[in-house]
């Protein structure tokens, strides 16, 4: 006997019970330990930021990691699943700043103290990380929380130090002055890919697009016209640039002379103008101009206030003449090349420096209006218009960014690019278009990677520099301890800043460069650092105290699988690939699944301020984890497309897949128990078992199970969860529930004759449910666990092996015949509906016109059509097809049969309302007109007594 099934199911209650069972029985641990050490399937868990409670986006990435971990475990692989936390960098610093009411970066050192600030960061990551486990449990994810890797752990940071050392020694890391995006609030550089992760980091801004006049020295009333959107940069413009090959003109307008590119004449005011001269841009190179401001000194040997050539100058926007300042990437590069005086007039907080007259102390954006007003008064502005463009903002604090020259540490991406593109070729991208689309473009357009930050909470840049320029770069804590003579217990600031080493070159004490590493280099080092590679990498199971053999690099790198959302294409996927190429000239991963973005119900980014998404905890409590998994894993978001979160779609998974599966399960257990049937040591029907089935329905559904096993397996192998869920849904809903169970109801239960057919009906549906539970287990781990354990008595579906399909023993013709029959049934139901004739009313004939070889359809299949459509005869192409001899009935008989069918339906409804089991006998009260059917009714509805009265009643 099977455990009874409650038809009024609460999936969240079942899931709570299963979570408890898994924990008490250590089912997850057993699933890992039961697989051989020498057959690993590896995946790398992209660590979430420790910044508050999880949202649908962070939960989404957990789902495919769990799905494919479960699948490959069932396939016999050992799948190590360790959680990770990303706890360094601006995300955490911003949270702590808010908690401590810190408004400026300088306050950390001047008011709080770096030591206290670091202690608060440590406290924050400890507290927040503990609150995630509830969510992870309730979405059904199996992962090792106990041994989670943390980017702020000592061991992890040591491996990051080793990664830095490897790249430095290979010549991929250098220190230099380059322009990077910069956040004046955080007072640190920001990587391009950090901003590019989310479209929301770019905001449309309307501000001045100004054409400035730069008077040429020695040429009366002649001005160069240069367009710019950064008035604050006009305070220090030591050079202008033109394209040597472009055509330029000198025009006269209102008794003044202006020089600009010929193709940009449209920018001139409407006043009449006259072209005086046309020439190539190279003619302007070397000409001197009058600067707007000259507060800065020009160093000996440096050039200033001169026109230079630059091929980067175009005439597509502006005037074909560009103002140059150190706050532009191309500007700085050409200024260094041409030996132009460089002026840095903005401080680390984005304020104009004190040595700048009139504007000292102003925020650089606030200076825009003041500068333009000053230049307008001095007649140095030709025109000023509104200009709208997209501007980058800080991905953490939301402050507008500007390009700022930084003397910082960089990875030389340019010399790695070709190998990175080569290493991308063997990677399997899902969806495929990201491989040659966004990811390839991110590599092709990537600047050198600024890996240092002028902040506090992070891994230190492991470089000690001496005044004599000698550097010491340790690759391990042991190496640093030996060089410094001190025991290292913490690699964080400020302790690490107190460590000095004796310079091998001059004997003086070298100090550590003060920056910390970009947290993305930590994330990019995860393949190695999460195992503390290469220091003590062991094959741990679930307990780091367990001994194990040292792992080889090829045992875990590159990992078989990673998965994150589209924003990580230019972020985590990219930095993994940079480091994988730099260290081993290898792809950083073998398979990558790219998810889309989950937006709020209004199509905007999910935000508590917008109140545009249902609370994840409430939804999990109300509908359960399986429903969330089915909703998201079957949605377009798993194909890299964005979706809006929808509670309706979430809820529909309960009413759809889950409830239909539960109803089929309930039907089986109810009637199997009523018939006292049990598998009694039998196995699920394999290929050879199908052929022994006598009923065509059983043979057909087992054939369909075989086919759907192949299709679902293909879906998992291709990392296509949509295919898995779509295939499972079609099989369960269309094949099992709507057809097989519906047509098999009369084969089981107390009123059905005992014998081989009843036994095979039970055994077939038991087989279907057990095998289907295995197929769906990686997607919906809770409901399949409940069903599998009750039907088999085994410990867990997740400890079972994946179904294996051999050669089919049934001809495809059965599938084809059954499909033809179902098409006929569908058309017949549509015809009845159109005529307004209910199915309970029997009809004499069904006339069918079929093209092709209809004669191949077996009589047993036509019998199914006859029963489903409630007809007496099937006529195919004007010939009696089934039964062999025509059944002739009067209209009166047909109506009588219809009334009896309706009565049976109502009696079954009454039994259901009373919660009766199939073998519970009843006292039945029916109208007198059914007196002739007494014996039939008593047998059909298990009535121990029938009373004839006016109204229908059912009682025990």
| Active-site position among 166, 341, 406, 568 | 568
Alpha helices (runs of H) in 307-360, residue ranges in sequence order: 329-337
Residues in the chain: 956
Task: List, in sequence order, every beta strand (DSSP E) within 184-273.
Answer: 188-190, 202-215, 222-228, 239-242, 247-253, 256-261
Is 72 tagged catalytic? no
Question: Do 165 and 579 contact (CB within 8 A), yes or no?
Answer: no
Structure-block tokens of residue 330: 């191309």
Residue 680: partners with Cβ closer than 8 Å, 6 or more residues away: none
Q: Check: CB of residue 253 under 8 Å from CB of residue 269.
A: yes
- What is the CB neighbour count within 10 angstroms for residue 569? 23
Q: CA 873, CA 842: separation in Å to the nearest integer? A: 11
As a whole number of angstroms, the distance between CA 214 and CA 222 comes to: 8
Examine the residue annotation and report whether 568 is marked as an active-site residue of this protein. Answer: yes
Residue whose entry in the numeric block shows the structure tokens 């969806």? 431
Lookup result for tokens 């087989």 = 767
Q: CB–CB of 736/764 below 8 Å?
A: no
Alpha-carbon gap, residue 219 to 383, rounded angstroms: 21
Task: Tokens for 728, please give them.
Answer: 């499972």
Catalytic residue among 520, 677, 739, 766: 520
**Which tokens go with 60?**
């989404």
If DSSP codes are grouped into helix, strand and coil, which group holds residue 304? coil
What are the tokens at 361?
Answer: 């102390």
Catalytic residue among 22, 41, 45, 47: 47
152 in catalytic set: no
Mark whether 47 is an active-site residue: yes
Instruction: Say if CB 700 and CB 736 are below 8 A apart.
Output: no
Cis amide prior to 111 (ω within 30 degrees): no
The span from the CA of 146 to the CA of 157, in Å, is: 19
- Alpha-carbon distance of 82 to 65, in angstroms, equals 11
Catalytic site residue 608?
yes
Instruction: Please identify which residue in the block is written with the tokens 């990580």.
Output: 568
What are the residues whose beta carbons fall under 8 Å from the beta carbon of 101, sequence distance 6 or more? none
Report the C-alpha gap between 723 and 635 in whole angstroms. Answer: 10
**Residue pair 61/494 in contact by the 8 Å Cβ criterion:** no
CA angle 515, 478, 482 (to 5 degrees): 90
Q: What does the alpha-carbon distance between residue 952 and residue 930 come to, in Å, rounded to a whole number? A: 11
Rg of the chain's alpha carbons, rounded to an integer? 38
Closest alpha carbon to 147 in 83, 85, 88: 83
Residue 402 has which token pair? 């500007």
Catalytic residue among 72, 132, 162, 572: 572
Measured CA to CA in angstroms, residue 734 lies from 103, 608, 669, 704, 738 at distances of 61, 41, 20, 11, 5
CA distance 335 to 179: 12
Mind giving me the DSSP string for 115-171? HHHHHHHHHHHHHHHTTSHHHHHHTT---EEEEEEETTSHHHHHHHHHHHHHHHHTT
Q: DSSP characters for 813-874?
A: HHHHHHHHHHHHHHHHHHHHHHHT--TTS-EEEEEE---S-GGGS-HHHHHHHHHHHTEEEE
Q: 3-state class of 429 per DSSP?
A: strand
CA-based end-to-end distance of the chain: 24
Distance from CA of residue 169 to its chain's centroid?
35
Most distant CA atoms of the chain, gap in Å: 123
Single out the catalytic residue among 75, 122, 288, 605: 605
Which residues are designated catalytic? 47, 86, 520, 568, 572, 605, 608
């Amino acid at each position: 006997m099977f455990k009874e099934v409650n038809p009024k199911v609460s999936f969240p209650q079942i899931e709570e019970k299963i979570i408890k069972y898994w924990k008490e029985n250590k089912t997850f641990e057993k699933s890992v330990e039961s697989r051989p050490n020498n057959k690993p399937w590896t995946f790398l868990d992209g660590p979430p930021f420790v910044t508050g409670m999880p949202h649908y986006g962070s939960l989404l990435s957990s789902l495919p990691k769990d799905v494919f971990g479960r699948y490959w475990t069932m396939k016999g692989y050992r799948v190590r699943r360790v959680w990770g936390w990303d706890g360094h960098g601006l995300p955490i610093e911003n949270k702590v700043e808010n908690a401590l009411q810190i408004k400026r970066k300088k306050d950390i050192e001047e008011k709080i103290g770096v030591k206290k600030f670091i202690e608060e960061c440590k406290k924050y990551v400890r507290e927040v990380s503990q609150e995630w486990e509830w969510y992870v449990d309730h979405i059904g994810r199996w992962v090792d929380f106990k041994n989670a890797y943390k980017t702020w752990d000592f061991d992890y940071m040591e491996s990051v130090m080793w990664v830095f050392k490897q790249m430095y020694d290979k010549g991929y890391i250098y220190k230099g002055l380059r322009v990077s995006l910069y956040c004046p609030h955080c007072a640190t550089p920001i990587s391009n890919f950090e901003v590019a992760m989310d479209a929301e980091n770019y905001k449309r801004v309307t501000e001045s697009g100004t054409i400035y006049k730069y008077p040429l020295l020695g040429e009366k009333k002649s001005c160069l016209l240069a367009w710019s959107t950064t008035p604050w940069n006009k305070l220090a413009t030591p050079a202008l640039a033109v394209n040597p090959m472009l055509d330029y003109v000198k025009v006269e307008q209102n008794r003044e002379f202006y020089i600009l590119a010929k193709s940009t004449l449209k920018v001139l005011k409407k006043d009449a103008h006259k072209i005086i001269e046309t020439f190539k841009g190279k003619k302007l190179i070397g000409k001197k101009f009058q600067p707007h401001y000259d507060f800065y000194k020009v160093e000996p040997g440096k050039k200033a206030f001169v026109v230079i050539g630059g091929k980067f100058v175009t005439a597509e926007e502006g005037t074909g003449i560009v103002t140059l300042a150190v706050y532009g990437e191309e500007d700085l590069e050409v200024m260094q090349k041409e030996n132009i005086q460089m002026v840095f007039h903005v401080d680390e907080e984005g304020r104009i420096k004190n040595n700048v007259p009139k504007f000292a102390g102003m925020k650089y954006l606030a200076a825009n209006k003041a500068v333009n007003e000053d230049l307008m008064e001095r007649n140095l502005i030709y025109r000023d218009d509104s200009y709208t463009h997209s501007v980058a903002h800080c991905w953490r604090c939301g402050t507008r960014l500007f390009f700022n020259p930084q003397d910082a540490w960089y990875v030389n991406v340019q010399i790695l690019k070709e190998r990175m593109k080569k290493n991308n070729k063997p990677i399997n991208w899902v969806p495929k278009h990201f491989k040659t689309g966004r990811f390839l473009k991110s590599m092709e357009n990537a600047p050198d990677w600024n890996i240092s930050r002028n902040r506090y909470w992070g891994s230190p840049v492991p470089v000690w520099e001496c005044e004599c320029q000698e550097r010491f770069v340790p690759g391990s804590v042991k190496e640093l301890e030996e060089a410094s003579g001190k025991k290292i217990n913490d690699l964080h600031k400020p302790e690490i800043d107190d460590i000095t080493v004796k310079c091998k070159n001059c004997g003086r004490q070298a100090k550590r460069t003060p920056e910390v590493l970009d947290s993305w280099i930590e994330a990019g080092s995860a393949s190695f650092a999460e195992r503390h590679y290469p220091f003590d990498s062991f094959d741990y199971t679930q307990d780091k105290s367990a001994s194990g053999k040292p792992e080889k690099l090829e045992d875990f790198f590159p990992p078989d699988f990673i998965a994150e959302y589209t924003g990580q294409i230019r972020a985590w996927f990219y930095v993994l690939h940079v480091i994988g190429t730099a260290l081993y000239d290898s792809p950083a991963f073998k398979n990558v699944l790219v998810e889309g973005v989950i937006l709020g119900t209004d199509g905007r980014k999910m935000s508590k301020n917008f109140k545009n998404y249902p609370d994840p905890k409430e939804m999990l409590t109300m509908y359960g984890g399986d429903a969330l998994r089915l909703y998201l894993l079957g949605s377009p978001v798993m194909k890299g497309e964005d979706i809006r979160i929808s509670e309706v779609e979430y809820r529909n998974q309960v009413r759809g897949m889950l409830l239909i599966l539960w109803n089929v399960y309930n039907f089986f257990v109810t009637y199997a128990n009523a018939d006292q049937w049990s598998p009694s040591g039998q196995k699920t029907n394999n290929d050879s078992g199908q052929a022994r089935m006598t009923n065509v329905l059983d043979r057909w559904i087992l054939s369909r199970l075989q086919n759907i096993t192949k299709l679902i397996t293909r879906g998992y192998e291709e990392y296509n969860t949509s295919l898995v869920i779509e295939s499972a849904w079609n099989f369960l809903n269309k094949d099992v529930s709507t057809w097989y169970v519906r047509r098999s109801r009369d084969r089981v239960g107390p009123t059905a004759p005992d014998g081989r057919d009843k036994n095979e009906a039970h055994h077939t549906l038991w087989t279907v449910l057990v095998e289907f539970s295995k197929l769906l287990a990686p997607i919906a781990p809770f409901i399949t666990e409940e069903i599998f354990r009750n039907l088999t008595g085994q410990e867990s579906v997740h400890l079972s092996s994946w179904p294996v399909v051999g050669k089919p023993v049934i001809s495809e013709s059965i599938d084809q015949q059954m499909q033809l029959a179902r098409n006929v049934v569908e058309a017949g139901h549509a015809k009845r509906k159109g005529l307004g004739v209910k199915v309970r009313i029997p009809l004499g004939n069904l006339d069918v016109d079929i093209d092709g070889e209809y004669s191949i359809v077996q009589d047993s299949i036509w019998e199914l059509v006859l029963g489903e459509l409630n007809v007496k005869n099937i006529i195919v192409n004007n010939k009696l097809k089934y039964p062999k001899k025509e059944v002739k009935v009067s209209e009166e008989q047909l109506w009588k049969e219809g009334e009896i069918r309706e009565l049976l339906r109502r009696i079954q409804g009454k039994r259901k309302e009373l919660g009766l089991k199939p073998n519970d006998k009843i006292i039945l009260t029916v109208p007198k007109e059914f007196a002739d059917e007494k014996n039939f009714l008593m047998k059909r509805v298990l009535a121990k007594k029938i009373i004839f009265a006016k109204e229908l009643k059912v009682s025990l």
